[in-house]
Copies of this chain bind each other. A is one copy, B any other.
Amino acid sequence: MTAVDTATLTAPATIEEFRERLAAITDGLPRRLRQCADHIAANLDRIAVSTVAELAAGADVPPSALMRFCQILGYSGFSEMQKLFRDAYSPGFPDYSTRLENLKQGGAGTPSALLGEFIEAGRLSLEALAKSADEVALAQAVALLSAADTVHIIGLRRAFPVASYLAYVFDKMAVPAMLHEGTGKLDHRHALRPGDAVLAITFAPYSEETISLAQDARARGLKVVALTDRITSPLARVGDAILTVPEVDFGAFRSLSATLALAIALAVAVGSARG
């Protein structure tokens, strides 16, 4: 047997474990078995509703290779593995996908097709956010902003809609907040006072004004909450709490669905925390 059989003893019991195991063993697998791994990884969602023969055909291997693969993963066979996916199967239901197909069918570039793409991008972003959201960072951010006197919100360009919605929600919830828009090239920096906090939002390509304001606030000892796209963003270096949001772009534009969901949750949580 291969070096892999150290892993043979325990079969993954959740989809998450399954993913990890898959990633861990894929390298160092012989050709046919790797084809299995690749195809399985790319079609996790179809395992629940496929037969050995179908999956094997998709991976372009004989059924027996796929059986071996299941056993390497630690299962007694395909059926046992499939059970995991059948139990976890959640209905991403129904006509939704059919309808999406219809929308896209008009052909690339038609308004309906574009709409279909943006809907899809939004949905993927939300799902990714559900999976990746950092609960600890979110709690931190809520704590920082709840303790602040005034919340200063800054987000320009593509981040501006988010900033303005935050300002709206804070206003409705009676949280003292100020929206910094670059109108008239004034940066209203003097409005930052000790005890305040800054909520800064920016995505690649990062806007300088936003980063500069955040740095400035930091230097003056104010707390900074960063809402950005990656942990490697320049904003992440100056934030006391870092919230990252995975947004799926379609074409040049991002959907903002995930970003807004996170932003509202943050704002509402802060609003309730302040009573």
Please give the residue numbers on chain A whose beta carbons come within 8 Å of chain B beta carbons, in ascending order: 14-16, 44-46, 48-49, 85-86, 88-100, 103, 106, 109-112, 114-119, 121-123, 126-127, 129-131, 133, 135, 138-139, 141-142, 157-158, 160-162, 164-165, 168-169, 172, 183, 251-253, 255-258, 260-262, 264-266, 268-269, 272
Contact = CB atoms under 8 A, between A and B. Distances in A.
B255 A261 contact: yes
Given A95-B15, A264-B253, A268-B253, A48 B45 contact: no
Contacts of A90: 92-94, 96-98
A185 to B, nearest CB: 15
A49 B129 CA distance: 27
Given A126-B123, A169-B253, A16 B161 contact: no
B119 A126 contact: yes
B262 A94 contact: no
Given A94-B90, A103-B133, A261-B257, A111 B142 contact: yes
Copies in the complex: 2
B168 A94 contact: no
Main secondary structure of the interface of A (DSSP, over half): helix
28 contacts: A14-B98, A15-B94, A44-B94, A49-B49, A49-B89, A90-B93, A90-B96, A90-B98, A95-B131, A96-B131, A103-B130, A103-B133, A109-B272, A111-B139, A111-B142, A111-B266, A114-B268, A119-B129, A119-B130, A121-B261, A122-B122, A122-B126, A122-B258, A122-B260, A123-B126, A160-B165, A169-B253, A172-B253
